[in-house]
Amino acid sequence: MRGYPVIRNIVVASLLWAAFVRAAFATGAEPVKDVKTDTTACFAAVSAADDDKIISVCGELLDHDKLAKADRIKALIARGGAFDRKDNIVRAIDDYDDVLRLDPTLADIFNTRGELWRRKGSRPKALADFGMAIKLNPEHAVAKANYKALALELERIGALMAVAGKPSFNCKTARRAAEKAICANPELADLDREINAMNVRIIGEARNYDDARALQREQNAFIALRNAEFGRPGYDLRKAMKERMQKLVGVDGY
């Protein structure tokens, strides 16, 4: 019979397909899960506080483009934290960047990224992140403390930059050779200003008027000797100034 081989092939194909379906959907079994979107391993690593595992398995999870948004955010935060604890600030910031692109309403993440920017030395970016965290959550105590501390730090830096390389006296009226040498050298100028500030502080903390006068006489004697000795063979102005500072602060090896 010519039609028999054709019929037999159709029957065999049908039996093979039926066998495949039974294997895939056996009684009591579920369809095979896409392991790439299974968050179990990533979140288990987080629970175990295993940073190496977090970076590895959460990284594999993040490579899958079908990962749900909420799970992607969780995995990015987890991996960012792991990178942070390993002092890989750049990678941590990258992960938090991705988190905030997905959800720009997370005040905690802005604050965390701000702390990373601050550690990296990018103070303006850190201040902006702390400010955004406060804008999103005006009651965010940590962000408010971070913002205040960094703002004061920037203010101090600005004040220091304003006087950097300037001594305690006016260089425009400097007449003595030692003073001109100090004005010409930013390191010596800073040291002179620090010596003067420390001397003023010590005098202000003196127990009585006589002690304060004695301290000022000592400073005046140092300046007089500095002016008289500068330029003579063997006199080291930098060394003399550092020794004076050391005596004022009372710290060996200044």
User: Which of helix, strand or coil describes residue 226?
Assistant: helix
- How many whole angstroms separate alpha carbon 184 and alpha carbon 100? 50
- The predicted-structure confidence for 47-89, as pLDDT tens digits, reads as follows 999 999 999 999 999 999 889 999 999 999 999 999 999 999 9
Round the average pLDDT of the chain to a whole number and report it.
Answer: 84
User: Which of helix, strand or coil describes residue 230?
Assistant: coil
* Backbone φ/ψ region at 31: left (φ over 0), alpha (ψ -120 to 50), beta: beta
Print burial letters for 168-184: b (CB count within 10 Å at least 16), e (below 16).
Answer: ebeeeebeeebbebbbe
- The predicted-structure confidence for 164-177, as pLDDT tens digits, reads as follows 788 989 999 999 99
The pLDDT of residue 97: 96
Dihedral over Cα of 108, 109, 110, 114: its sign? positive
- How many whole angstroms separate alpha carbon 244 and alpha carbon 199? 10
Residue 21 has pLDDT above 70, yes or no: no
Residue 24 has pLDDT above 60, yes or no: no
Note every long-range contact of 153-161, with CB atoms under 8 Å and residues 24 or more positions apart, other chains counting. Answer: 153/123, 154/123, 154/127, 157/123
- The predicted-structure confidence for 91-117, as pLDDT tens digits, reads as follows 999 999 999 999 999 999 999 999 999
Taking residues 17-45, report their average pLDDT: 58
Fill in the DSSP letter of residue 232: S
- How many whole angstroms separate alpha carbon 92 and alpha carbon 83? 5
Question: Model pTM greater than 0.85?
Answer: no
Ordered structural domains, the chain, with CATH: 105-163 (1.25.40), 171-249 (no CATH)
pLDDT band at 159 (very low <50, low <70, confident <90, very high): low
Percent of the chain topping pLDDT 70: 83
User: Which of helix, strand or coil describes residue 250?
Assistant: coil
- The predicted-structure confidence for 189-228, as pLDDT tens digits, reads as follows 999 998 988 988 898 888 888 888 999 999 999 999 999 9
